[in-house]
Amino acid sequence: MGDTKANLTIDGTSREYSVLDGTIGPSVVDISSLYKDTGMFTFDPGFTSTASCESKITYIDGDEGTLLYRGYPIEQLADHGDFLESCYLLLYGELPTRPQKEDFVNRVTKHTMIHEQMSRFFTGFRRDAHPMAVMVGVVGALSAFYHDSTDIADPHQRMVASIRMIAKMPTIAAMAYKYHIGQPFVYPKNDLDYSANFLHMCFAVPCEEYKVNPVLARAMDRIFILHADHEQNASTSTVRLAGSSGANPFACIAAGIACLWGPAHGGANEAALNMLTEIGSVDRIPEFIARAKDKNDPFRLMGFGHRVYKNYDPRARIMQKTTHEVLAELGIKDDPLLDVAMELERIALSDEYFVSKKLYPNIDFYSGITLRALGFPPHMFTVLFALARTVGWIAQWKEMVEDPGQRIGRPRQLYTGAPKRDYVPVEQRR
């Protein structure tokens, strides 16, 4: 902690608050004693100026368009690493040595099956249920099957639950997809790597051999890396707040999935593709740009804008590159939706409204085109986001639980409701 102080004067009384410096990025004013000192709260709906915690996991610089996992740039991890290596890095803080990687991959592989009775949960859902509804339900139910890893005070159980979550999310996601399309569940195969295994569980059928395309598996793996963690976003903050009460990790992840579902957050990838489909052709773009700028129209360009990135989302660049790789591998010469997306981006980035508000494409803008080309329907897009983000949620949850200063999160409010008043008997009410 440096010796910089922040001075606050209220009604002529001045108080000093410590300024805490991080390794990189904005410093913070420690106002934890403000209420005790002044009887006042800070007011920051949406938490645009609030640091909710100290963390060593992920760093974002919104102006520079920088994203680091434990200090490593996302571009380098996406180009040179694989998803399970990033999982190890996010969980343990360092890139694994070869033996550490092999052990971690082996531990994850051995936890990919789910309790056979859990398959009955799926049949309780309508076939046309949104797969995110299934994910929230089934992941929350994991705590009913894995009691031996719900004691958050036990480091061993915390790690077992972490491995189980990372390992089982692809299996549950694939089962949600298979149930939705009326095909039989496909069991995980231990001789396939994480992302190839996921594609196999989604697209294999019992009637014939399914060969996973290694280029597509690599693209899937890179997409998982891009989505793995992202500082204190809404769903991660939800997981931290749920975990601060001592709730078991499976319940906390289910809470994160529920929050991610929203179209302003992880649901934007599905909404962005639906928007591109609705626009349909390049000549209709101006109509939608006008709607996005119209204050009286709730329409927003899905996949555009970000609370933190006021520059290009570094993940969107990598995603766009991946889109071209996947379309080329699949021999898709011209995808009309990609044409619409690229022209929409070009127009938006030269339009004063978007430039002035620093609205750039985010990770969700191109991901839908890629995921659709891989064979997934739009309502599976956020499921894939949740699959990848599970390691980030778990790493942040683990950091919170292991923080000796951790307490239950309990924000206050600015109350503007009715002052105290007496009960009025019904016969006297007008």
Among 164, 240, 265, 398, binds ligand SDX (CB under 6 A): 265
Q: Which residue has the tokens 């949104």?
A: 130
Among 169, 242, 268, 337, binds ligand SDX (CB under 6 A): 268
Q: Tell me how far, at minimum, the Cβ of 259 lies from ligand SDX, in Å.
A: 10
DSSP H helices, 15-93, are: 34-38, 74-80, 83-92
Residue 15's DSSP bridge partners are 8
**Binding segment for ligand SDX among 73-81, 305-313, 366-374, 402-410 (CB under 6 A)?**
305-313
Binding status of residue 90 toward ligand SDX by CB under 6 A: no
Sign of CA dihedral 199, 200, 202, 205: positive
Q: Which among 130, 229, 364, 379 is annotated as catalytic?
A: 364
d(CA 305, CA 349): 11
Q: Please give the residue whose beta carbon sits closest to ligand SDX in the complex.
A: 305
Between 104 and 385, whose beta carbon lies closer to ligand SDX? 385
Among 111, 300, 310, 324, binds ligand SDX (CB under 6 A): 300
**Binding segment for ligand SDX among 138-146, 182-190, 201-209, 265-273 (CB under 6 A)?**
265-273
**Binding segment for ligand SDX among 69-77, 133-141, 157-165, 259-267 (CB under 6 A)?**
259-267
Between 194 and 385, whose beta carbon lies closer to ligand SDX? 385
Cβ neighbourhood burial of 75 (10 Å; 0-12, 13-18, 19+):
middle
Between 220 and 301, whose beta carbon lies closer to ligand SDX? 301
- Which residues, in sequence order, are CB contacts of 270 under 8 Å at separation 6+? 263, 368, 378, 379, 381, 382
Binding status of residue 230 toward ligand SDX by CB under 6 A: yes
Q: Which among 306, 313, 335, 379 is annotated as catalytic?
A: 306
Binding status of residue 78 toward ligand SDX by CB under 6 A: no
Binding status of residue 328 toward ligand SDX by CB under 6 A: no
Residues 338-357 that bind ligand SDX (CB under 6 A): 357
Helix (H, G, I), strand (E, B) or coil at 5: strand
User: With left for phi above 0 and alpha for psi between -120 and 50, is residue 278 left, alpha or beta?
Assistant: alpha
What's the count of helices (H) and strands (E) in the chain, helices before strands? 18, 6
Q: Tell me how far, at minimum, the Cβ of 322 lies from ligand SDX, in Å.
A: 16
Among 164, 218, 222, 306, binds ligand SDX (CB under 6 A): 306
Binding to ligand SDX by CB under 6 A, coded x per residue (else -) over 134-173, reads ----------------------------------------
Pairing mode, if any, of strands 28-29 and 58-61?
Answer: unpaired
Q: Tell me how far, at minimum, the Cβ of 371 lies from ligand SDX, in Å.
A: 15
Contact 307, 415 (CB under 8 A): no
Long-range contacts of 63-68 (CB under 8 A, 24+ apart): 63/310, 63/311, 64/311, 65/309, 65/311, 65/312, 65/313, 65/314, 66/314, 67/230, 67/314, 67/315
Q: Tell me how far, at minimum, the Cβ of 117 lies from ligand SDX, in Å.
A: 33
| 265 is known as an active-site residue | no
Among 15, 111, 307, 324, binds ligand SDX (CB under 6 A): 307
d(CA 408, CA 405): 10
Sheet architecture: strand order including 13-20: 5-10, 13-20, 28-29
Residues 354-373 that bind ligand SDX (CB under 6 A): 357, 359, 362-364
Among 217, 302, 387, 400, binds ligand SDX (CB under 6 A): 302
Among 10, 113, 264, 355, binds ligand SDX (CB under 6 A): 264
The CA dihedral of 81, 83, 84, 90, to the nearest 10 degrees, is 90
**Binding segment for ligand SDX among 25-33, 34-42, 126-134, 302-310 (CB under 6 A)?**
302-310
| 80 is known as an active-site residue | no
d(CA 43, CA 274): 36
d(CA 95, CA 91): 10
Apex 86 CA angle, 119 and 186, nearest 5: 25
- Catalytic sites, residue numbers: 306, 364
Q: Using CB under 6 A as the criterion, which residues of the chain lie in contact with ligand SDX when the complex forms? A: 46, 230, 233, 264-266, 268, 292, 300-308, 357, 359, 362-364
